[in-house]
Amino acid sequence: MDLLEILEERLKNLEKKIEETKLHLPAHSIKPPVMMALLDLEDERDAVLEKINSLNPLSTNKNN
C-alpha cells in the first residue's frame, strides 16, 4: 500500500467519523468539547486532502 492509498483510506475514515459526529449533535446547546472534536476531525480531513492533492494534482477529491 503506497502513501496515496494510505491517505485516501484515512480520508474515508475521517469523513465517516465526521458524519457520525454530526448525526449525534444536538440541535441546540452543543457542548464545547463535542464541537472542538468535530472541528479537529474537519481540520485533520483538510490536512489529509491537502497532502493527497499535493501527491496527486489530478485527484478528484474535493473538500465539501
> What's the Cα-to-Cα distance from 48 to each of 13, 24, 36, rounded to whole Å?
11, 24, 18
pLDDT per position as a tens digit, 14-64: 999 999 999 888 888 888 998 999 999 999 999 999 999 998 877 655 554
* Residue written as grid cell 448525526: 23
Task: Spell out the alpha helix ranges (H) of 1-64.
Answer: 3-23, 32-55
DSSP state of 26: -
Domain ranges for the chain, please list them.
Answer: 3-55
pLDDT for 12 equals: 98
Q: What is the pLDDT of residue 3?
A: 93
Neighbours of 8 (CB within 10 A): 19
What is the rounded distance in angstroms from the CA atom of residue 56 to the CA atom of residue 34?
A: 33
pLDDT of residue 60: 57
